[in-house]
Amino acid sequence: MSTDFLLPDLGEGIHEAEVLGILVKEGEAVKEDQGIFEVETDKAVVEIPSPVTGTVEKIHVKVGQTVKVGMVMVTFGEAAGSIPAKKTEEAKAPVAQAKPAEKAIAEVSARSSGNGAVITGRPVPAAPATRRVARELGVDLNQIAGSGPGGRVMREDVVAFKEGIVAGGAPSKLPAAPKVPDTVSVTTMYGGPKKEGETLEPFSTSYVEMPDFSKYGPVDRVPLRSIRRKIAQSMATSWAHIPHVTHCDEADITHLNESLKKHEKEIAERGGRLTLTVVALKAVASALKKYPQFNSSLDEKTGEIVFKRYYNIGIAVATERGLIVPVIKNVDQKSLPELAIELNDIARKTREGKIELERLQGGTFTITNIGAIGGTNMVPMVNYPECAILGMARSTQKPVVRDGSIQIRWILPMAMSFDHRLADGAESAYFVRHVINCLEDPLQLLLEV
C-alpha cells in the first residue's frame, strides 16, 4: 500500500519551507529516521527524516521549490521484507499528516527485536535535528532518558550519552565558532536570483511603485525569501505596532573584565566561553523579576497585558544568512557556567545553520551585542511580540572621574528599546541601572533571594 508523506508542521508560526536538498531517489529503499529532505524555513535549516521503512515511489517536489505545510512531499511503498505481513493496527495507521513535527515525523515506531518480532510503542520524542545527531553518532534514542519537557530527548542528551560511553566525560574544548565574513554574499544571504518556476509574492499589500533603476545602470533583482524575508516582516510588524523609545546608559565593567579573564580558562575546559553576554543574561533575568513590565506583551485583540512568569532570553546572532535569535530558556534557574556552555553551543550551531527549531521559540526578552564588530552605541528594535530589547556596543577604555581623580576605565555603552505603551522612561532607566549594578558588582547576583 502506498503512503503519501506531507510536509509536517515544522514549528510555531512556520507555514512553508524551501527545499534545499533531496537526499533520496525514486526507487531507493529507505529506513525509518533516514534523512530524505533538507529544507530551509524562515528560522533554520531542517533535515526531515523518513517516518517509515519502505521504498520511495515518487518524489513530488524539486530543489528550490517552496512547499507549504500539508503538501505531499513523497510517496512511499513497502520495501520487500521491511515490514512483516502481519502488521499491527499501529503500523497500518497513515503516517504523513500535517501534525507537529515530532509527531508527524515519528508516527510509526516499528522496530525489530532480536527474534524478528515487531515492537510497536510510543515514539521517542525528539526533534529532527536531534535524530540526525543520533544517527551520525550511532546512538539509539530508545536508550536515552530525555531531559526536555515531557521526556523529550535533546541534542545535549545524545552527545552526553555518546561521550559517557566512548570518552567517559565532556570534551575539554569546543571548536571556535566560524567567523562571519564582513562582506555580503548575495547567494548566501539572499538565496541568489529567481529560480526557474519560482513564484514571487508581493512583500506588502500596500507597496509603493518603484522607479526603473535599470535606466541608470546595471542592477540585480533577487527575491526576498527565507530568513531575510522573515526578518523584514518582523521588523515591519515591530515598527508598525510598537511605539519605540530607547534609553541609553553606560556601565563601568573594569572589574568584570578582570574577573572574566581570571575564570575564562576553567569555563573553556568545560566547553563554554565566559563572556560579557553570559553575565548580562543573569543581570537581565534579575532585572526582569524586579520590573516584570519588561517581560510582558500587549495582546491588542483583548486589550490585556500578558505577564510571563518565566525568563527565556533571546541572543541575537549574526550569520551569513541574516540575524537569528536563538533562545536560552529559564535563565534565572541556570548558573553562569551552564549559561556559558549553552550560549557557546547555540551561537555555534546558529552560525552553522544547525540550531534546533524549539530553541528559536518562546523568548520573552532579547539581548543584542555588537561589541565584537564595533560601534559607539545603537538603537535596537524590539523583537515583536516581546516588549523590550537590550543592546550592548563595544566597550572601550575611557578617562573618567572617580573620587576626584581621572582614571582609565573600561566603559560599556548600553541602550534599551521598549514598548512605551507598557512602560515609561523612568522605569526603563531603573531597569538598565539594575543591569549596570549587576555588571559592575556581580556579587549582587549572589545576594539575591
Q: Count H helices, E strands: the chain?
A: 11, 21
CA distance 361 to 326: 7
The three-state secondary structure class of 434 is helix
User: Grid coordinates 513535527 are at which residue?
Assistant: 101
AA letter at 207: Y
- Residue 161 CA: distances (Å) to CA of 102, 158, 354: 21, 5, 20
The three-state secondary structure class of 37 is strand
H helix or E strand, kind and range, residue 156: helix 155-166
Q: Are 236 and 328 in contact (CB under 8 A)?
A: no
- Is 420 annotated in the active site? yes
CA distance 449 to 435: 17
H helix or E strand, kind and range, residue 344: helix 336-351
Q: Are 381 and 316 in contact (CB under 8 A)?
A: no
CB neighbour list of residue 383: distance below 8 Å, 6 or more residues apart: 234, 238, 314, 325, 363, 366, 389
Q: Out of 60, 244, 263, 420, pick the active-site residue.
A: 420
CA distance 153 to 428: 39
Enzyme catalytic residues: 420
